[in-house]
Chain A
Amino acid sequence: MNRILEKVIHQNGTIVDRILSEHTIGYVVSDNTANAVAETSFDNTSAQAILKHLHGLLVSTCQSVVRDIDPSNKLCFMRLGTRKFEYLVAPEEYFTITVVQ
């Protein structure tokens, strides 16, 4: 799975560079099946914290909230804004991508 991800990131290199060029502090890409960090620019501790709490807990909670209100609806994107940072979370079928800016 990680090999496929590296291939995808390489193919979308320009998009990745654009995402990382301005105001971005870092990013985490996690594998949903293995529940592990697939790609990250943070150190391991920060990446694991984001993976465990943000991808694991908040995304599933938000998905269940959306499904409770309308079963045909689906969570596409999620943004958490604070004073200093903003977490942009994109849950996909196999990967979950988080950018901190």
Chain B
Amino acid sequence: MQEAETDPKRTKSYVEEVFRKVQEKPGVEDILIMNHSGVPVKTSMDRQEGLQYACLYDNLREKCQAFLSKMEPAQNLTLLRVRTKYHEVLITPDAKITVLVVQNAKDTFLNIKG
């Protein structure tokens, strides 16, 4: 998904393909795909929850990208992983879409099941 940085094509079939492939992975709870404006285009969450995740985590992604562009040398965010008590959220920003995945954490940091 990080290929062809120059104006990559992100058609609806591409989004469906990404959604289907991520869904096949074990341990995935929710998937959310946004366009570059932060609007969810495809999600497995209910509407209200999806909007909340999209708004909050997109704001966090923007702050992370701003932070990395300030560092020397400037860098582009490719993956953001947030480990919480109950699950793990992975955000993969692309030129046009952002894929957000909520999954069961695979590490042994905490064994709490919510």
Q: Smallest distance from the beta carbon of A27 to chain B beta carbons, Å?
A: 16
CB <8 Å contact, B52 and A80? no
Residues of A in contact with B (beta carbons under 8 Å apart): 49, 53-54, 57-58, 61-62, 65-66, 68-70, 72-85
With beta carbons under 8 angstroms apart, the residue of A62, A72, A77 that contacts B109 is: A77
Q: Is the interface of A mostly helix, strand, loop or mixed?
A: mixed
Q: Smallest distance from the beta carbon of B47 to chain A beta carbons, Å?
A: 15
Bound form: Cα–Cα A66–B91 in Å: 14
Residues of B in contact with A (beta carbons under 8 Å apart): 52-53, 56-57, 59-60, 63-64, 67-68, 70-71, 75-86, 109-110, 114
Given contacts A70-B114, A82-B77, A83-B78, 5 further A-B contacts (CB under 8 A): A61-B60, A68-B56, A75-B83, A76-B83, A76-B110
Q: Smallest distance from the beta carbon of B82 to chain A beta carbons, Å?
A: 6
Q: Is the interface of B mostly helix, strand, loop or mixed?
A: mixed
Bound form: Cα–Cα A61–B64 in Å: 10
With beta carbons under 8 angstroms apart, the residue of A72, A78, A82, A85 that contacts B83 is: A78
CB <8 Å contact, A65 and B60? yes
Q: List 20 A-B contacts (CB under 8 A).
A: A58-B67, A61-B60, A61-B63, A62-B60, A62-B82, A66-B84, A70-B114, A73-B85, A75-B82, A76-B83, A76-B84, A76-B110, A79-B83, A80-B77, A80-B79, A81-B77, A81-B79, A81-B80, A83-B75, A85-B75
CB <8 Å contact, A82 and B56? no
Bound form: Cα–Cα A70–B60 in Å: 16
Interfacial chain B residues near A58, Cβ < 8 Å: 60, 63-64, 67
